[in-house]
Structure 1
Amino acid sequence: MSPEYKQPAEEERRQLVVDQLRELTKRVETAERRVTQVENALCAVAQEASDVSVSHACNRCEKSLLIVRNGSMRCPRCNYSRSM
């Protein structure tokens, strides 16, 4: 009987990294699709609400989009507000 061939340790590590990158790529692509879905739903909800729209990211905290209503923009995360 001949012994079973095993890949060198470096090749095993390389394959592990390749597999991890493939999995990470799939997760990022899934997250990007989900973010697009949420953005589309948020914009649709804002359009259906009276006199409300969604604007760009908050310049102060950058953790939320600004809500535009009655001539002012407000961040629901940090409460930054300014009139337009």
Structure 2
Amino acid sequence: MTPRHTGVSESRRDRETAARLATLEDRLEAAERQQRLLRTTVAGLVREVGCSLGCQCSRCEGSYTFVKDGSMYCPRCGDREPL
């Protein structure tokens, strides 16, 4: 097969790709900053209420668990398991 001619020059496509890549890099950096802020906030909240952050919930996999008083509790699905 021969390549199709799209009417868009190679250099223009390269510039568009570079611009999209730069936008994605900016979005990724912003998401990573937001994730760090949320992680710090959650860790502080967990300390304030007197528990610790456990592992990812094995039942729903949609949240980390809280560990307190000898059990792990998932705030998303309500699953509770003894340690």
- Classify the TM-score, shorter chain: 0.7 to 0.9
1:27 aligns with 2:17: no
After TM superposition, what 4+ stretches of structure 1 lie above 4 angstroms from structure 2? none
Match of 1:12 in 2: 12
User: Where do 1:32-47 residues align within 5 Å?
Assistant: 32-47=32-47
- In structure 1, stretches of 5+ residues that fail to align are 1-7
Which residue is 1:3 aligned to?
Answer: none
TM-score relative to the length of structure 1: 0.78
Residue 36 of structure 2 aligns to a residue whose secondary structure is: helix
Give the percent of matched residue pairs that are identical in Structure 1 and Structure 2.
32
TM-score by length of 2: 0.79
SS at the partner of 2:11?
A: helix
How many pairs align? 76
Distance 1:59 1:74 in 2: 11
User: Are 2:64 and 1:82 equivalent residues in the alignment?
Assistant: no
Gaps of 5+ in 2: 1-7
Aligned to 1:66: 65
Quote the offset at 1:9 in angstroms: 1.7
Q: Report the more deviating stretch, 16-25 or 74-83.
A: 74-83
Q: For residues 37 and 15 of structure 2, what CA distance do their matches in structure 1 show?
A: 33
RMSD, aligned CA: 1.5
